[in-house]
């Protein structure tokens, strides 16, 4: 492997991107985050021995406050 090679395939990156969007939208709805508001999510993933993308865990970071 050379220094300019990716560690995950293009297909895995597309799948990860799709999964990240799903997770982002789930937490946005769950915590009532308004459009345009900043919030962060920590996501842990791995590529399995079978070369499959697996999301291990996801959790919001920082404090999400109620603006009411």
Evaluate whether residue 22 is within a structural domain.
Answer: yes
Q: Report the candidate in 24, 23, 21, 35 with the shortest Cα–Cα distance to residue 67.
A: 35
pLDDT, tens digit (0-9, with 9 covering 90-100), for 17-51 = 999 999 999 998 998 888 888 888 999 999 999 98
State the pLDDT confidence band at 60, using cuts at 50, 70 and 90.
confident
What are φ and ψ of residue 22, in 5° steps? Answer: -60, -45
Residue with the larger pLDDT of the pair 18 and 2 = 18
State the pLDDT confidence band at 64, using cuts at 50, 70 and 90.
low
29 lies in which domain range? 10-61
Distance of CA 1 to the CA centre of its chain: 26
Question: Can you tell me the distance from the alpha carbon of 47 to that of 49, in angstroms, rounded to the nearest whole number?
Answer: 7
Evaluate whether residue 29 is within a structural domain.
Answer: yes
pLDDT given for residue 65 in this prediction: 58
* pTM to 2 decimal places: 0.74
Evaluate whether residue 1 is within a structural domain.
Answer: no
Q: Which residues are CB-contacts of 36 (< 8 A; sequence separation ≥ 6)?
A: none
Could you tell me if 34 and 40 are in contact, meaning their C-beta atoms sit under 8 angstroms apart? no
């Amino acid at each position: 492997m050379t220094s300019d090679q990716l560690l995950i395939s293009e297909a895995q990156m597309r799948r990860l991107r799709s999964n990240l969007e799903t997770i982002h939208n789930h937490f946005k709805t769950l915590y009532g985050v308004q459009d345009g508001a900043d919030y962060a999510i920590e996501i842990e993933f791995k590529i399995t021995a079978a070369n499959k993308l697996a999301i291990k865990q996801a959790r919001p970071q920082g404090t999400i406050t109620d603006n009411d």
